[in-house]
Structure 1
């Protein structure tokens, strides 16, 4: 399983789809970054990178503005599924 397949599996599973994901790659192709973000990566980093850059991006993803929005959207979707209105 490659990173793209793992990301697809994470996003398909209702228990894991809201987990923030940062994809990392040594590949310089822009298409890889585009595809990763298109299938659900929250961020994409090209190697090499510093640990400070990693910390910054993790902090940004865990920002209180991002996580509650995702959780609210996921909760609304689950409520609609339970109510049968999806």
Structure 2
């Protein structure tokens, strides 16, 4: 069952999808990506967000029981 759920989960999200999940505008998320405070992958001109990044931030917020700052999370994840 867990393998089936994992297979159904997307590996990447569009910027618009993540913005909707987080309740913010796409432009706000594009700015965060541009200034390096949110992880994304550029494929030619298109930006995609790894699902692991979204899930990792959510998990960190739950485990730590506090607000996770995306920019600090990105810095910590890149080590």
* TM-score greater than 0.5 by the shorter chain: no
Q: TM-score, normalised by structure 2?
A: 0.30
Q: Whose radius of gyration is greater, 1 or 2? A: 1
